[in-house]
Protein backbone atom coordinates (compact mmCIF):
# COMPACT_ATOMS: atom_id res chain seq x y z
CA UNK A 1 0.00 0.00 0.00
CA UNK A 2 1.44 3.38 -0.94
CA UNK A 3 1.74 6.41 1.33
CA UNK A 4 -1.40 8.01 -0.11
CA UNK A 5 -3.44 4.84 0.33
CA UNK A 6 -2.21 4.52 3.93
CA UNK A 7 -3.13 8.15 4.62
CA UNK A 8 -6.58 7.66 3.10
CA UNK A 9 -7.25 4.48 5.06
CA UNK A 10 -6.14 6.18 8.30
CA UNK A 11 -8.31 9.23 7.57
CA UNK A 12 -11.31 6.94 6.95
CA UNK A 13 -10.57 5.11 10.19
CA UNK A 14 -10.42 8.38 12.15
CA UNK A 15 -13.73 9.58 10.69
CA UNK A 16 -15.45 6.30 11.54
CA UNK A 17 -13.99 5.81 15.03
CA UNK A 18 -13.82 9.36 16.42
CA UNK A 19 -17.33 9.51 17.92
CA UNK A 20 -17.00 6.19 19.72
CA UNK A 21 -13.48 6.83 20.99
CA UNK A 22 -14.35 10.35 22.11
CA UNK A 23 -17.38 9.08 24.07
CA UNK A 24 -15.24 6.39 25.68
CA UNK A 25 -12.54 8.91 26.60
CA UNK A 26 -15.14 11.30 27.98
CA UNK A 27 -16.62 8.57 30.15
CA UNK A 28 -13.13 7.72 31.39
CA UNK A 29 -12.17 11.33 32.19
CA UNK A 30 -15.43 13.17 32.76
CA UNK A 31 -13.92 16.12 30.88
CA UNK A 32 -14.49 16.89 27.20
CA UNK A 33 -11.16 18.65 26.63
CA UNK A 34 -9.18 15.85 28.31
CA UNK A 35 -11.13 13.31 26.28
CA UNK A 36 -10.23 15.04 23.03
CA UNK A 37 -6.56 15.17 24.08
CA UNK A 38 -6.58 11.45 24.90
CA UNK A 39 -8.12 10.58 21.55
CA UNK A 40 -5.69 12.77 19.61
CA UNK A 41 -2.71 11.23 21.40
CA UNK A 42 -4.11 7.75 20.74
CA UNK A 43 -4.50 8.59 17.04
CA UNK A 44 -0.91 9.81 16.93
CA UNK A 45 0.27 6.48 18.37
CA UNK A 46 -1.94 4.57 15.98
CA UNK A 47 -0.70 6.57 12.99
CA UNK A 48 2.91 5.72 13.85
CA UNK A 49 1.98 2.03 13.82
CA UNK A 50 -0.61 2.23 11.01
CA UNK A 51 1.37 0.15 8.52
CA UNK A 52 1.63 -2.66 11.10
CA UNK A 53 -1.90 -2.47 12.54
CA UNK A 54 -4.40 -4.93 11.13
CA UNK A 55 -7.51 -3.13 9.86
CA UNK A 56 -9.71 -5.43 11.94
CA UNK A 57 -7.89 -4.59 15.16
CA UNK A 58 -7.30 -0.87 14.59
CA UNK A 59 -10.21 0.19 16.81
CA UNK A 60 -9.08 -2.11 19.63
CA UNK A 61 -5.49 -0.85 19.25
CA UNK A 62 -6.58 2.78 19.42
CA UNK A 63 -9.05 2.16 22.26
CA UNK A 64 -6.22 0.56 24.21
CA UNK A 65 -4.10 3.64 23.53
CA UNK A 66 -6.92 5.84 24.89
CA UNK A 67 -7.22 3.73 28.04
CA UNK A 68 -3.46 3.60 28.55
CA UNK A 69 -3.20 7.34 27.99
CA UNK A 70 -5.84 7.90 30.65
CA UNK A 71 -4.00 5.63 33.07
CA UNK A 72 -0.79 7.57 32.45
CA UNK A 73 -2.60 10.89 32.91
CA UNK A 74 -4.18 9.71 36.13
CA UNK A 75 -0.86 8.45 37.49
CA UNK A 76 0.82 11.76 36.71
CA UNK A 77 -1.86 13.91 38.30
CA UNK A 78 -3.60 11.58 40.73
CA UNK A 79 -6.49 13.80 39.74
CA UNK A 80 -9.73 13.56 41.59
CA UNK A 81 -12.99 14.79 40.21
CA UNK A 82 -15.29 16.67 42.54
CA UNK A 83 -18.90 15.65 42.03
CA UNK A 84 -22.20 16.94 43.23
CA UNK A 85 -24.81 14.28 43.73
CA UNK A 86 -28.29 14.86 42.36
CA UNK A 87 -29.81 11.62 41.12
CA UNK A 88 -33.39 11.87 42.31
CA UNK A 89 -34.98 13.25 39.14
CA UNK A 90 -36.91 10.98 36.74
CA UNK A 91 -35.71 10.40 33.17
CA UNK A 92 -37.22 12.45 30.35
CA UNK A 93 -37.14 12.68 26.57
CA UNK A 94 -36.33 16.40 26.57
CA UNK A 95 -32.87 17.33 25.29
CA UNK A 96 -31.98 19.19 28.48
CA UNK A 97 -32.92 16.16 30.57
CA UNK A 98 -30.87 13.81 28.40
CA UNK A 99 -27.85 16.09 28.85
CA UNK A 100 -28.48 16.09 32.59
CA UNK A 101 -28.73 12.28 32.55
CA UNK A 102 -25.36 12.04 30.78
CA UNK A 103 -23.92 14.38 33.37
CA UNK A 104 -25.27 12.20 36.18
CA UNK A 105 -23.71 9.12 34.59
CA UNK A 106 -20.35 10.90 34.40
CA UNK A 107 -20.67 11.94 38.04
CA UNK A 108 -21.51 8.39 39.07
CA UNK A 109 -18.51 7.06 37.15
CA UNK A 110 -16.30 9.67 38.80
CA UNK A 111 -17.03 8.11 42.19
CA UNK A 112 -15.41 4.83 41.12
CA UNK A 113 -11.73 3.99 41.31
CA UNK A 114 -9.90 4.46 38.00
CA UNK A 115 -9.73 0.69 37.39
CA UNK A 116 -13.41 0.21 38.18
CA UNK A 117 -14.29 3.12 35.92
CA UNK A 118 -12.28 1.69 33.01
CA UNK A 119 -13.89 -1.73 33.44
CA UNK A 120 -17.43 -0.31 33.64
CA UNK A 121 -16.95 1.91 30.59
CA UNK A 122 -15.46 -0.81 28.40
CA UNK A 123 -17.62 -3.64 29.69
CA UNK A 124 -21.04 -1.99 29.86
CA UNK A 125 -20.83 1.16 27.74
CA UNK A 126 -18.64 -0.15 24.92
CA UNK A 127 -20.29 -3.58 25.35
CA UNK A 128 -17.01 -5.50 25.22
CA UNK A 129 -16.90 -9.05 26.49
CA UNK A 130 -15.00 -9.85 29.67
CA UNK A 131 -12.16 -11.26 27.56
CA UNK A 132 -12.03 -8.19 25.30
CA UNK A 133 -12.08 -5.88 28.31
CA UNK A 134 -9.31 -7.90 29.96
CA UNK A 135 -7.22 -7.68 26.80
CA UNK A 136 -7.80 -3.95 26.40
CA UNK A 137 -6.81 -3.27 30.00
CA UNK A 138 -4.05 -5.87 30.21
CA UNK A 139 -5.84 -7.61 33.07
CA UNK A 140 -6.99 -11.15 33.67
CA UNK A 141 -10.64 -12.02 33.05
CA UNK A 142 -10.99 -12.70 36.77
CA UNK A 143 -9.70 -9.22 37.61
CA UNK A 144 -12.22 -7.71 35.18
CA UNK A 145 -15.05 -9.68 36.82
CA UNK A 146 -13.91 -8.63 40.30
CA UNK A 147 -13.57 -4.96 39.32
CA UNK A 148 -16.99 -4.97 37.65
CA UNK A 149 -18.56 -6.62 40.69
CA UNK A 150 -17.00 -4.09 43.07
CA UNK A 151 -17.93 -1.18 40.82
CA UNK A 152 -21.55 -2.25 40.54
CA UNK A 153 -21.69 -2.84 44.31
CA UNK A 154 -20.26 0.63 44.93
CA UNK A 155 -22.75 2.22 42.55
CA UNK A 156 -25.63 0.32 44.17
CA UNK A 157 -24.57 1.39 47.66
CA UNK A 158 -24.09 5.06 46.70
CA UNK A 159 -27.11 5.29 44.40
CA UNK A 160 -29.69 2.67 45.43
CA UNK A 161 -32.48 4.21 43.32
CA UNK A 162 -30.32 4.13 40.17
CA UNK A 163 -28.97 0.60 40.65
CA UNK A 164 -31.49 -1.40 38.70
CA UNK A 165 -33.44 0.86 36.41
CA UNK A 166 -36.17 -1.55 35.22
CA UNK A 167 -37.01 -3.00 38.62
CA UNK A 168 -35.77 -0.34 40.99
CA UNK A 169 -33.22 -0.69 43.74
CA UNK A 170 -33.80 -4.40 44.33
CA UNK A 171 -32.86 -5.51 40.84
CA UNK A 172 -29.47 -7.00 40.11
CA UNK A 173 -28.53 -5.85 36.55
CA UNK A 174 -26.33 -8.89 36.02
CA UNK A 175 -29.05 -11.37 36.94
CA UNK A 176 -32.19 -9.42 36.09
CA UNK A 177 -33.92 -10.64 39.25
CA UNK A 178 -34.41 -9.37 42.76
CA UNK A 179 -31.53 -9.77 45.17
3-state secondary structure of 178: strand
Has residue 40 been placed in a domain? yes
Residue 90 and residue 107 share a domain: yes
CA dist 54 and 13 (Å) reads 12
Residue 58 and residue 9 share a domain: yes
Q: Could you give the number of structural domains in the chain?
A: 2
CA dist 135 and 132 (Å) reads 5
Given this model, what pLDDT does residue 65 score?
93
Residue that terminates a domain, selected from 23, 49, 79: 79
Residue that terminates a domain, selected from 44, 60, 79: 79
Given this model, what pLDDT does residue 82 score?
42
Residue that terminates a domain, selected from 59, 79, 99: 79
Range of the domain at 37: 1-79
Residue 168 and residue 85 share a domain: yes
Has residue 179 been placed in a domain? no
Q: Which residues, 6+ apart, have CB-to-CB distance to 30 below 8 Å?
A: 81, 106, 107, 109, 110
Given this model, what pLDDT does residue 17 score?
93
Has residue 107 been placed in a domain? yes
Residue 117 and residue 64 share a domain: no
Residue 101 and residue 144 share a domain: yes
Give the chain's residues under pLDDT 70. Answer: 1-3, 78-93, 161-179
Residue 88 and residue 30 share a domain: no
Measured in whole angstroms, how far is the alpha carbon of residue 94 from the centre of its chain?
Answer: 24
What value does the mean pLDDT of the chain take?
A: 79
CA dist 129 and 77 (Å) reads 30
Has residue 178 been placed in a domain? no
Given this model, what pLDDT does residue 43 score?
94
Amino acid sequence: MGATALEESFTDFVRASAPSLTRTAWLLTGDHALAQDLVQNAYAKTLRAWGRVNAGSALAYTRRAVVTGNIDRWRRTRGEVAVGLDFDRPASDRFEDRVADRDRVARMLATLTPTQRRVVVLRYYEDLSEAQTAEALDMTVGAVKAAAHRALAALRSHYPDAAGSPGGAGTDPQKGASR
